[in-house]
Amino acid sequence: MFVATANTLNIPAPLMDRMEIIRLSGYTEDEKVSIAERYLVPKQMAANGLKPEECAISESALRDIVRYYTREAGVRSLERELGNLARKTARITHEIEELTHSLRDQSSDVGADMARSVHRAQRVGALVTNTGNTLGQVGAMLTEVRAVTGEQTGLMRQLTSDADRQRQDAGQAAELLQVLVQRFAATMTLIRDAREQLETGVTAVSKSSDAAVTLRVSLAMHYQWIGALLAAAQKQERVDMDVSNFHGCFFGKWYFGAGAQHFGSDAGFAGVDSVHQDVHRTGQSLVEAIRAGDAARTAELASRLEGLSDTITDRLEALMRQIP
């Protein structure tokens, strides 16, 4: 007895007659959401070093991912999308932690400056007290009193000037700390607004019926990761990227979705697929070459990726000219 699994029944009829067909339906949308909440989200958070309080995905967000970003009966694509989301969240969390540490270090410096200022002011007070005692002891000798009084008056003026300067330094330090706190708050607001704008933009573009708009936006998103990868290759900086999935990228979703519906069997459109796949394969190889520190291999793959980008640009510009 042999047991086989398949996603299609396009097999020769004589072979099908000798087999018993058992149809198994895929997961429903509710089942996928439940699996993601119980198993996939905790797994990806643990794999990317995220704590529960650092990343929370609502049920509505999971349902949108299942509905608009996965097409298969199983949950492999869903797990891959959740992994991408977890990696991006981990990177943003790390950047925020670095900013927080920087602010904390600068705050420590400000606190140390203020402590030194207070200590100097206390020394000024002690010197003034000593000056008063000295004047009381030499009160019987008018000449010496005048001389000492003149010296102490000059000293007091100098000390008062130093105290004023220290108070100004402390005020400037406090103002600097306030500016840093305001910048930190502005940075957090900018990150939150950027996330909201990205989610709104992606949702709007995915629902747009204008083929020209969706093509240009998907192409721009595609070149965003290509540009980041080429910049990392030039600096020999390691990057945390996984660009092997040419179906799951923004351009791939357009190509196999709205693009296929609009252009159909157009020869120029069909020829883009192989170049698009080659771009992803070359990009993934470049990520691995940078990670391995192979400078010669990195330069070779970066040059090839630039050439492939030019090729796909030429072909897509030809498609754009067909859109009214």
Per-residue pLDDT of 89-101, as tens digits, reads 888 887 877 877 7
- Angle (CA) 189-195-196 rounded to 5° is 90
Q: What share of the chain is helix, strand, coil (3-state, %, to 5)?
A: 80, 0, 20
pLDDT tens per residue across span 237-296: 887 878 777 777 777 777 777 777 777 667 677 777 788 888 888 888 888 888 888 888
- Per-residue confidence (pLDDT) for residue 140, from 0 to 100: 55
pLDDT for residue 128: 46
What's this model's pTM, rounded to 2 decimal places? 0.36
Give the pLDDT confidence of 68-86 residue by residue, as tens digits. 877 676 778 878 888 888 8
Average pLDDT of the chain is: 74
Nearest-angstrom CA–CA distance, 255 and 276: 10
The yes-or-no verdict on residue 108 having pLDDT over 70 is: no
Q: What's the pLDDT tens digit per position in 196-243? A: 655 555 555 545 556 666 777 777 777 777 888 888 888 888 878 787
Query: Containing H/E element for 127?
Result: helix 76-137
pLDDT of residue 259: 74
Contact at 8 Å (CB) between 236 and 290?
A: yes
Residues 136-165, mean pLDDT to the nearest whole number? 62
Q: Quick one: pLDDT at residue 131?
A: 46
Q: Percentage of the chain surpassing pLDDT 70?
A: 68
Domains of the chain: 210-324 (1.20.120)
Q: State how far the Cα of 226 lies from the Cα of 284, in Å rounded to an integer.
A: 11
Tokens matching residue 50? 């995220």
